[in-house]
Chain A
Amino acid sequence: MVRIRSPQDFAAGLFFLGVGAFALYGMADLRVGTALRMGPAYIPKLISWGLVLAGGAIAARALVIPGAGLERWAWKPLLLVCGGTAAFALMISQLGLFLASVALTLVVSFGTTGAKWRQVIPFSLVLAGAAAGLFGGLLGLPMRLWPW
């Protein structure tokens, strides 16, 4: 029975191997060409094979050499920080800078423990107002500020 002595490295190795394999699959139809006339897939396929090899080596090494274990993921801050940023992206062009900023600040603020609505709401309004004033007013960046 093979034991994984370094779960973190093993996972990293599988990740790189997977990305390399996925890229090779994605470029299956592309022409490789020759060294003199390189096709679109010449270098990318070379790099992908490199990734597959490096990932395989990292994973194989993890079977032999002991190392760090896998850490728990902090899902809450991860989802709220990236989700808040995504919310901003989805709102900005239709609803404008002010509302998008309010949404971002509201969502990400709950990434900390102990965030309270009655503190977060006024804070997000102030921050969004400052952002709209600074970027829309003072710097005059060409972007929509309000939904109307």
Chain B
Amino acid sequence: MDLVANLALGASVALSGENLLYCLIGSLLGTLIGVLPGVGPVATIAMLLPITFTLQPTGALIMLAGIYYGAQYGGSTTAILVNLPGEASSIVTCLDGHAMARQGRAGPALAIAAIGSFFAGCVATLVVAVVSAPLVSLARAFGPAEYFALMTLGLVLTVVLARGSPLKAVAMILLGVLLSLVGTDIHTGAERLTFGVKWLAGGFDFVPLAMGVFGLSEIISNLEKGEGKPQEKLADKVHGLMPTFADLKDSAPAILRGTALGAVLGVLPGASSMIASFASYTLEKKIAKDPSRFGKGAIEGVAGPESANNAGAQTSFIPMLTLGIPSNSVMALMIGAMTIQGIVPGPMVMEKQPSLFWGVIVSMWVGNAMLVIINLPLIGIWVRLLDVPYRLLFPAILLLCSIGVYSLNNEPTQVLLTAAAGVLGYLFIKLGCEPAPLLLGFVLGDMMEENLRRAMQISRGDPLAILTSPICAVLLGASVLLIASMVLPSIARGREKLVEE
């Protein structure tokens, strides 16, 4: 069977000494960052991107992937022990996880979170492996028109699932697309929106933009809020990690449901693992016999969301690996990393570089196993990290960011651009605009223009001809339906509920 052979190939790559090391480093760094509040996975990956340039492409992607799911893991530890979500997707874990910790049951909560995440990670890795191959063969039938339609659907989904005002998300996407079009037009050689500035002729680079908008603005906003009150720590109360049999019985179905929900939501563009964990919590609360237990230490409220966010983190690799289309900002960064490594993201990756493709997939499973081993015994060490004061932490982070951006091509203007993007990111915070749609628009923008131009040349300038391709018709039809669903009030209310809760 193909799948077995592919996974065996992947295992041989992922289990090589060198790649195991990168996987371990990535998972450790990710956990570290996940534990530290105020440094999200996006900023971390942007920050550490330059370090991976010196590695082989496979090692680099394995390490970046490790950082991503490691951060999902680490975030739950502080959520449970300190009531401090290390990153957005563990906000719901705080509710019941911390309540359990208060009752002296921090051990079982941490164990269930780890077990749930591990199970979800294993299942989701298999899903990625099984779904990828057919998707890639489907993608091979894609022409420019189909790609354009697919990217349109992706951006529409981003709007539907974005937090806050959909109109603002639309505007942010358009702004991102516009920014991606700055520079020399490859078809005509004309300079667009460069205003005669020489270094703009090559267009904006992704890394300084992402680093400024996500990293710098986050730091400024943290400084604005102050260093915060000293947190109540429950680390000393972790005795006995073992959950009881009743705990396991209660959480097993929640883990299964969370995994399924997360795996599906993770594939959708724009749906972050955060939405997966929120959706899972809502579901568990709804089907529970006694919903009033939630918020007071119900173990299902930890098991479900933790499984969901890990499954979502994993399956969000599917559109990135098979189609070259990022489903969230982290995946956009991964695409940036691949491009810098000289790999053209898209369906050709699996065909031309099977060892990279399957190696990265299997490494996710290896990384998940490592995380269980790392996280449970080392919890005390991770929690002690929270004692590092932010005033020492943030200058170090900024320095890493600046060196990272500069090392891309030893170009000081890139660092200046990062600073400017930081101001822009802060402006977005003050205007209540989510930055993720901007980044997706930026990544997809010039690809969409290119594909639309080619599609129009093929169809001799007739826009309606695009609809004659069945794939396009389905993709664009889905986009129209989604937009319609947002306009219709009853469904719009349901969406708000899902996003708000």
- Please report A residues at the B interface, Cβ cutoff 8 Å: 8-9, 11-12, 15-16, 19-20, 23, 26-27, 30-31, 34-41, 43-44, 47-48, 50-51, 54-55, 57-58, 61, 68, 70-71, 73-74, 77-78, 81-86, 88-90, 92-93, 97, 100-101, 104-105, 108-109, 111-113, 115, 123-124, 127-128, 131, 135, 139, 141-143
Given contacts A43-B452, A123-B392, contact A85 B167 (CB under 8 A): no
- Pairwise interchain contact A51-B178, C-beta atoms closer than 8 A: yes
Q: B27 → chain A, closest Cβ, in Å?
A: 21
A143 to B460 Cα, complex, angstroms: 50
The chain A residue sitting closest to B422, CB to CB, is A82
- Pairwise interchain contact B413-A41, C-beta atoms closer than 8 A: no
A16 to B176 Cα, complex, angstroms: 11
A81 to B215 Cα, complex, angstroms: 11
Count chain B CB atoms within 10 A of each CB in A34, A41, A81 and give the residue with the most: A81
Q: B291 → chain A, closest Cβ, in Å?
A: 31
- Pairwise interchain contact B187-A127, C-beta atoms closer than 8 A: no
- Pairwise interchain contact A93-B399, C-beta atoms closer than 8 A: no
1/0 contact trace for B443-467 toward A, CB 8 Å? 0000001001100110011110000
Q: A96 → chain B, closest Cβ, in Å?
A: 12
- Pairwise interchain contact A86-B51, C-beta atoms closer than 8 A: no
Main secondary structure of the interface of A (DSSP, over half): helix
Given contacts A41-B192, A51-B175, contact A143 B220 (CB under 8 A): no
> 3 nearest interchain CB pairs?
A36-B461, A89-B415, A74-B224
For residue B12, CB closer than 8 A to chain A, the reply is no
- Pairwise interchain contact B430-A27, C-beta atoms closer than 8 A: no
Q: Which residues of the other chain, A, contact B167 by a CB distance below 8 angstroms?
A: 54, 57-58, 61
- Please report B residues at the A interface, Cβ cutoff 8 Å: 51, 54, 165, 167-168, 170-171, 174-175, 177-178, 181, 185, 187-188, 190, 192-193, 195, 216, 219-220, 223-224, 226-227, 390-392, 394-396, 398-399, 401-403, 406-407, 410, 412-416, 418-420, 422-423, 426-427, 430-433, 449, 452-453, 456-457, 460-463
- Pairwise interchain contact B426-A78, C-beta atoms closer than 8 A: yes
Given contacts A16-B171, A81-B398, contact A86 B407 (CB under 8 A): no
Given contacts A11-B431, A85-B402, contact A44 B178 (CB under 8 A): yes
The chain A residue sitting closest to B452, CB to CB, is A43
Q: Which residues of the other chain, A, contact B219 by a CB distance below 8 angstroms?
A: 77, 81
Given contacts A54-B171, A93-B410, contact A15 B431 (CB under 8 A): yes
Q: Which residues of the other chain, A, contact B226 by a CB distance below 8 angstroms?
A: 113
The chain A residue sitting closest to B449, CB to CB, is A43
- Pairwise interchain contact B456-A35, C-beta atoms closer than 8 A: yes
Q: Which residues of the other chain, A, contact B54 by a CB distance below 8 angstroms?
A: 139
A68 to B175 Cα, complex, angstroms: 22
The chain B residue sitting closest to A89, CB to CB, is B415
- Pairwise interchain contact A31-B395, C-beta atoms closer than 8 A: no
Q: Which residues of the other chain, B, contact A128 by a CB distance below 8 angstroms?
A: 399
Q: A44 → chain B, closest Cβ, in Å?
A: 5
Which of A47, A109, A113 interacts with B178 by CB under 8 Å?
A: A47
Given contacts A74-B220, A77-B224, A108-B395, contact A54 B170 (CB under 8 A): yes
A88 to B174 Cα, complex, angstroms: 31
Q: Which residues of the other chain, B, contact A39 by a CB distance below 8 angstroms?
A: 188, 190
A85 to B219 Cα, complex, angstroms: 12
| 29 residue pairs A–B, Cβ–Cβ below 8 Å | A11-B431, A12-B168, A20-B174, A36-B460, A40-B187, A40-B188, A43-B453, A47-B174, A58-B165, A58-B168, A73-B430, A74-B224, A78-B422, A78-B423, A81-B216, A82-B220, A82-B422, A85-B422, A88-B406, A89-B419, A90-B412, A90-B416, A92-B412, A93-B412, A101-B399, A108-B398, A112-B391, A127-B399, A142-B410
- Pairwise interchain contact B399-A44, C-beta atoms closer than 8 A: no
Count chain B CB atoms within 10 A of each CB in A12, A105, A113 and give the residue with the most: A12
Q: B479 → chain A, closest Cβ, in Å?
A: 15
A45 to B62 Cα, complex, angstroms: 40
14 new A-B contacts, CB < 8 A, other than A47-B178, A51-B171, A105-B399, are A19-B178, A30-B192, A47-B177, A54-B170, A77-B223, A78-B426, A81-B216, A85-B402, A85-B419, A111-B394, A123-B395, A128-B399, A131-B403, A139-B51
- Pairwise interchain contact A51-B174, C-beta atoms closer than 8 A: yes
Q: Which residues of the other chain, B, contact A86 by a CB distance below 8 angstroms?
A: 415-416, 419
- Pairwise interchain contact B394-A108, C-beta atoms closer than 8 A: yes
- Pairwise interchain contact A111-B223, C-beta atoms closer than 8 A: yes
A113 to B368 Cα, complex, angstroms: 40
Q: Which residues of the other chain, B, contact A78 by a CB distance below 8 angstroms?
A: 220, 422-423, 426
- Pairwise interchain contact B174-A54, C-beta atoms closer than 8 A: yes
A104 to B66 Cα, complex, angstroms: 30
Q: B397 → chain A, closest Cβ, in Å?
A: 10
Q: A110 → chain B, closest Cβ, in Å?
A: 10
Q: Which residues of the other chain, A, contact B401 by a CB distance below 8 angstroms?
A: 85
Q: B68 → chain A, closest Cβ, in Å?
A: 22
Q: Which residues of the other chain, A, contact B416 by a CB distance below 8 angstroms?
A: 86, 89-90
Q: Which residues of the other chain, A, contact B403 by a CB distance below 8 angstroms?
A: 97, 101, 131, 135, 141
Q: B457 → chain A, closest Cβ, in Å?
A: 7
Given contacts A47-B177, A77-B223, contact A92 B395 (CB under 8 A): no
Q: Which residues of the other chain, B, contact A108 by a CB distance below 8 angstroms?
A: 394-395, 398
Q: Which residues of the other chain, B, contact A92 by a CB distance below 8 angstroms?
A: 406, 412, 415
Q: Which residues of the other chain, B, contact A77 by a CB distance below 8 angstroms?
A: 219-220, 223-224
Q: Which residues of the other chain, B, contact A31 by a CB distance below 8 angstroms?
A: 188, 190
- Pairwise interchain contact B407-A127, C-beta atoms closer than 8 A: no
Q: Which residues of the other chain, A, contact B452 by a CB distance below 8 angstroms?
A: 43
The chain A residue sitting closest to B431, CB to CB, is A12
- Pairwise interchain contact B460-A105, C-beta atoms closer than 8 A: no
A101 to B406 Cα, complex, angstroms: 12
The chain A residue sitting closest to B194, CB to CB, is A26
A25 to B206 Cα, complex, angstroms: 25
Q: Which residues of the other chain, B, contact A50 by a CB distance below 8 angstroms?
A: 170, 174
